[in-house]
Structure 1
Amino acid sequence: MSHSPAQLQALVDRCEQFRDSKAPGGYRDSLALCVIDSVQSTGVTYSSVVNVVDAYRAYRRAQSGEPDTDGVAELLATFDELSGPDGWAAKIGNRNRTSSRGGVLKAEAIRDAAAALAGHGIDSSAVLRETAADTSCLAVVESAWRKVTGQRSGITWHYMQMLAGIPDVKPDRMICRFVADALRLPRRSVTTGFALEILTATAEELGMSPTDLDHAAWQWQRGRK
């Protein structure tokens, strides 16, 4: 489903109010925190994500590590030290799962997503940003990420990039609802792909970073009754 010129203009008009908005900075120097935050973020209140990020930081600092510059090698090492996802979930994470039906611990998905990045030579946020300049290479890495249990939709992939400083849109439920309501479409009809495409195009029309527009739209939609 591609957007029409009229739909794009309608969304541009709705998003004019966000033109000066800025998103938080994310974790430009810590790919480890990007992976943790993105995988933990789906289907939960963000406070639970903050708790896991803070616990990881505390664990690494107790080792005299620097979590705010950790790459995936340091993240994967914590799983080895804690005897795998169960131990990691007990010490750092929680028992949240990627899905209530047939899902795995998010700790397991974090480990596997980090391993997918490492397997393609993506060991830091800086390398990820460099790779993003080559769309064909990035597509290979994205395919590996989406093969991790619970990550098939690509929502966490897009969010992980945003946290690493790559302009993008996280087409989650809140963003899909925002697009549907703005265009007066049935919510069920708006796919993640359509929301990603049209919000990215809207950001370009407004001269904004897609990340900044995504954050503003998400916050606006969350505040609706």
Structure 2
Amino acid sequence: MPVIVVNEYRAYRLGQGADADRDGTKELLATFRETGGSAGWADLVNNHKPAHTQPYAPLKAEVRWRAAEALHNKLHITTRGEVHAAYATEKSLADLKKTWLCLPSQSSGVTFNYFLILCGFQSVKPDRMVTRFVEEHAGFGGQDITPMQTAELIGQVAENDPTQPRMLDHVIWRHVSGREIFRADELN
């Protein structure tokens, strides 16, 4: 979730006397009920962006709600610890990934990787710019690759470097977006 969404959610939960960083799916789903569903939750976090650019796309908040329901009701994953347990077994991870990729507008796998990052894993969330960079510089001869393939390649390069996959993804993103690779305040 974008930082503003996370910060708004944290502020809401703090106002309830709770710690959002300890919330699981039960608490997250309760906030959707309290705010009147995905439209009310979008108001809460100040984000009414659609999940994709096609007409009638669901709000990102709707996709988050469906993700929380799928984790809670279908996979019985209710805490970050349970995500870690699912990640540890190949079948459970495959089920988690398959469920996530079936959510509206989530088939690219970018938000699945971001979800893993939020759960504390060394994953990457390659956007179009990062994927295009890897396509251009990894010797694919103009062949398109998916964001999931990009994430796997970045992970392999990071293993051999050695660096953290998230750091490598971020450095590539900063480079292709025209930003300084390292800000002056990061070097001190």
> TM-score, length-normalised on structure 2?
0.85
Equivalent of 2:155 in 200, 205, 224: 200
Name structure 1 gaps, 5 residues minimum: 1-36, 38-48
Letter of the structure 2 residue corresponding to residue 129 of structure 1: H
Cα offsets for 1:75-104 (capped at 9, x unmatched):
110001111111111222421000121410
Contact 2:108 2:146 in 1 (8 A): no
Distance 1:212 1:224, change over 3 A: closer
Q: Give the match for residue 55 of structure 1.
A: 8
Q: Give the match for residue 176 of structure 2.
A: 221
Q: Give the match for residue 117 of structure 1.
A: 71
Q: Structure 2: how far apart are the matches of 1:81 and 1:194?
A: 39
Distance 1:142 1:185, change over 3 A: closer
Q: Give the match for residue 191 of structure 1.
A: 146
Tell me whether 1:87 sits opposite 2:40 in the alignment: yes
Shift of 1:122: 1.6
Letter of the structure 2 residue corresponding to residue 53 of structure 1: V
SS at match of 2:88: coil
Distance 1:118 1:155, change over 3 A: same
Q: How does 1:177-188 map to 2 (within 5 A)?
A: 177-183=132-138
Equivalent of 1:64 in 6, 17, 20: 17
Tell me whether 1:108 sits opposite 2:62 in the alignment: yes
Which runs of at least 4 in structure 1 moved beyond 3 Å after TM superposition?
183-188
Q: Structure 2: how far apart are the matches of 1:124 and 1:221?
A: 35
Shift of 1:58: 1.2
> TM-score, length-normalised on structure 1?
0.72
Letter of the structure 2 residue corresponding to residue 162 of structure 1: I
Q: CA RMSD of the aligned region, Å?
A: 2.1
Contact 1:200 1:210 in 2 (8 A): yes
Contact 1:168 1:211 in 2 (8 A): yes
Q: How does 1:8-47 map to 2 (within 5 A)?
A: 37=1
Q: Figure out how many residues of one structure are paired with residues of the other and give that number.
A: 178
The percent of aligned pairs where both chains have the same amino acid is 36
Q: Structure 2: how far apart are the matches of 1:205 and 1:137?
A: 27
Cα offsets for 1:37-77 (capped at 9, x unmatched):
1xxxxxxxxxxx32222211111111111112111111110
Name structure 2 gaps, 5 residues minimum: 181-188
Q: How does 1:85-164 map to 2 (within 5 A)?
A: 85-101=38-54, 102-119=56-73, 120-164=75-119
Q: Give the match for residue 75 of structure 1.
A: 28
Higher relative contact order (CA 8 A, sep 6+): 1
Contact 1:159 1:169 in 2 (8 A): yes
